[in-house]
Amino acid sequence: MEYLDNLDHDAMNAFRELNNDTVPLHQISALKLSTEMKDLLQSTKQRKTPVKGAADRKFGNMNYLFKLSDPITRTILASAAILPSQPRIIQGEGEDGIAQFCHVSDLDIPKIKGWLAKAYPDISPIFAPINKARKALSPDSAYPTLGYDTTLPHHRPDSSACMYLPTQDQFPVWYFFYGALGNSSFLNELFGSPPEEHALVPALIHGGKVKTWGGKYNALVDDDHESRVNGWAYKVVSLEQEDALRMYETVKYEVVRVEIELNSHDGKRFVKGCTFRFAGEKGELN
């Protein structure tokens, strides 16, 4: 199972607990995980940053799987005001039974740890990091939108009836690509489907510019609205495709709204879509 080779050390410990810490690391591949769990964890990379420092970062972009154990349930977490709503549940099946994990952000971790220390001091929390681009499109404002500070007065909603597109769970949805993703053969490898199914349309966007980080990776950042970036647009048709894209981009990026200008053989048109904006520190950029 190739995805297991990329699990963070904390994730390995989490799956060891599925079998009550009796399974050696080299035998963890015997664990049977749900397809959803595999998809979430397949691209997690080895990292040295400790969880306890997560809340000190400028952006709360890292997502984690928090292992639920009796009597802790997602309903209890939500009702205790630890989380704003009942989180998504991911299920993993081990040889000794099934374990459940809930999806939380790094900003939730200090709250969960503090609450557990008071209410359930005997429980040692386990958090498995997921190296996946964050997506949190607000239904009540344009946040986050490429090239716009949505906190400024002229970007705030003028009516509670405003509909901001695309929505968090909207499919199909257009995505703008400005790097390696703008290649149908690459999408074929990423999605595991024939390249002819991945129609890329020449496109451009305004409000951003492309820099680099790590000496070689493209990084889209905010710029004034007069700037433009050329690339390709692709219609993402399912959550599964979007998850694969977010896993590829990693936590170094976040999904943001953007208006995309499509330039196909049928002419020019504009669509509301998404793209991946760099979410790391400015000092990392070249």
Per-residue pLDDT of the chain (286 residues; tens, 9 = 90+): 333 333 344 444 444 444 333 333 333 333 344 444 555 555 443 333 333 333 333 445 577 888 888 888 878 877 776 776 777 777 776 555 678 888 888 888 888 888 889 999 998 888 888 888 999 999 989 999 999 888 777 666 666 667 899 999 999 999 999 989 999 989 999 998 887 778 999 999 999 999 999 888 999 999 998 899 999 999 999 999 999 999 999 989 999 999 999 998 888 999 999 999 999 898 899 8
Query: Looking at the structure, do residues 140 and 278 belong to the same domain, yes or no?
Result: yes
Query: Looking at the structure, do residues 270 and 157 belong to the same domain, yes or no?
Result: yes
Query: Looking at the structure, do residues 35 and 97 belong to the same domain, yes or no?
Result: yes
Query: Looking at the structure, do residues 168 and 67 belong to the same domain, yes or no?
Result: no
At which of 80, 101, 131 does a domain end?
Answer: 131
Query: Looking at the structure, do residues 76 and 89 belong to the same domain, yes or no?
Result: yes
Domain that holds residue 250: 136-284
pTM: 0.68
Query: Looking at the structure, do residues 276 and 140 belong to the same domain, yes or no?
Result: yes
Query: Looking at the structure, do residues 140 and 118 belong to the same domain, yes or no?
Result: no
14: closest CA among 23, 241, 107, 250?
Answer: 23
Q: Is 250:226 a contact under the CB 8 Å cutoff?
A: no
Structure tokens at 51: 């969880």
Query: Looking at the structure, do residues 21 and 118 belong to the same domain, yes or no?
Result: yes
**Neighbouring-strand partners of residue 42:** none
Report, in angstroms and rounded to the nearest whole number, the Rg of the chain calculated over CA atoms: 20
At which of 71, 102, 131 does a domain end?
Answer: 131
**Tell me, what DSSP letter sits at residue 145?**
B
**Tell me, what DSSP letter sits at residue 139?**
S
Query: Looking at the structure, do residues 194 and 264 belong to the same domain, yes or no?
Result: yes
Query: Looking at the structure, do residues 97 and 164 belong to the same domain, yes or no?
Result: no
